[in-house]
A and B are shown apart, each in its own frame.
Chain A
Amino acid sequence: MSFTPEPGTPLEAYYVQTQPRIGAVLARRSLGTLDAVTIGRYAMTIGVTDRSHYDPAAARSAGYGDVVAPPNMLAAIVEWGVGTPEAQLQPDGTPHDGDMPLGDGGLGLRVMGAGEEMELVNPVTAGTEVLLETTLEAVTPKQTRSGPCVFVTTLNTFSSAEGAVLNRNRRTVVLRNPLQESS
């Protein structure tokens, strides 16, 4: 049975704004050149000890050109470059113009990750200039045990500047009404 968010709610406003954009390319841009320190810090933070993430010689002996990123690192980075000034972030801290359409901050929607499908096509090594293309694939309202939600799925294709696909990542987040309107 189809479900649409209750009229007049922030979730309904978001759905009306976003659903017509299904199929649109939301972003196509260079993310910059991945450096070894970022790769090492990501590996350190998740607790990986494999030397190929830290040491170029170890990476080369494992068959890579330089230190290699852990599998989901590209997908995990939210802001590339210097990021968004604090005064321009939405009340929940998320950037207004991020790769995932989260709606106008005035809607006060609550967002969380819901799932992902990730193809790791080629290794991601330090020194790679990374390009990203993001397409809005689905905007699906659902009634769940915790109340009305909208699930939003984007397809993110990370490529090298030479045109080789690195990751093909289909990511879904779930948006909910502000707490006072969620029941």
Chain B
Amino acid sequence: MAGHEYYEYNLDNLNYNSAYGLIDGFASYANFVGRYTGGTFSSPGGNMIKTAMESYFGRASYIYDEKYYLEASIRRDGSSKFKQKDKRWGTFWSVGAGWRLTGEEFMKGTNSWLNDLKIRSSYGLIGNQSGIGNYSGYQLWSYGAVYTSSTAGTGIPASYTLSQGAFVNDGLTWENTRTFDAGIDFTMFKRVHGSIDWYNKNTINSVYNQPIAISLGQSTITKNSAGLRNRGIEVDLNIDIIKNKDINWTVGVNGTHYTTVLTKVPAGVGSDALNGNWTAGVDGWSANGGGSTGETAYLRGVGKDFYNLYFFKYGGVDNQTGLPLFHHRVTAADHAAGKFESTKIGDDIKTTDYSLASRYEMGSALPKWIGGFNTSFRYKQFDFSAILAYQLGGKYLSVEYANGLYMNGNIGSAMSAELLNNTWTPENTDAKFPMALYGNTFATNGATIGSWMYSDLGLFSASYLNIKNISIGYNLPASLLSKIKASNFRVFASADNVAMITGHSGYDPRMSLVGGLEVGAYGYPYMSTVSMGVNLTF
């Protein structure tokens, strides 16, 4: 099979009130500043998108004797997202092979219990351009005006403003990912069906927003300069435990373990102060990619997990003052200033001076293992099924706790019942939580000391077991169906999101939209629903 594909997307509209263009013959709203009242639009606007993609591709597959499988593909893609001609095209390919061992003579002896066994593997190079903006290689300017009438009245510019946007890297190209996959599919005793897959995806030139000091002009420069490795194993097993006329019972279990690790970063990333590592904020969480924040949430580095949470460490309550204690890692600068000299550099002290609080690696937001169970059981006309989801390992910072429920000074707002009789008082100096001070002062609650400056007080295990669905039903037997001239009659009850078991109540790790944290208003809880009904078919 071979093919050629060309794709072009064009969208074009421009408000009628655009005027005062900067560049002749450039019909883009960005080139106009007019502003008029009384119409549908108050200022120049519109939208123009133009992108193009061209591909050539071919694929061949070969199967011999239902035993040997071969497949190869190759494609060459060009994208308008890349500014420079020589960066625009990429060649990608894959080869794969499979072998059904149970088709071989020498496997005859195992036929009694091993019904099917196939091993397979593939290797390839795939390209990605999805994270790259449509015109990322162009340095942009913005054009505006100051108007003669200052209220939103007439649109005659008194003077124009023009400013140069951020510096860009115009040499971006396709991200290349080397993928390797090996798997095994099997059926045993005609009842046990399973597959196991191991994969390794190495992105060798991932597009990366390399942080730079803002004194150089901006906070990041984008480069094809990072390496990222996704590696994991997937297991899927289904067992027909009982299979006869009256009873049918199957159980399924699946799960996956994966890691995301940075393997390479550009020179200059990372700081000596952090042993070559660096801090990063959370990714955008709203649909259009907005909402990201540069404020620290992760410590990243080569070989480190990508979602390595990085927060302050709560050290309990100071028995004397009732104030929260925070861990501080003693530095050479401390010793030079004559502070904490009895503690070794790199060791911890606890202090109520939150301005000294140090950040610590708190573990990954990613689970060690995540998956589900399902079972269905039928006894004569009755049936039952359940679907469960689980996660083992991983950390979760509940912003709701850190910014709300543990804010012991927020009188009048919802607070965690854990605080009841468990805040410091002169009589209760061993309390878990600091003294409740009236007034929303950051540093006195122990959970947060500023915007996006959380301690691990609100950090919980992300392990959970969730009962996603339970349903029971009863099907009217055929003998009765014929009497009412129906072809099917079923009474059922079904419940979704039945129960959630976590290490600590009040949060839902599934709400993590940005790698280990939920974000404010976006944290709508999952609904629990129960439905009952009758299906009747004539």
Do A and B share a complex? no
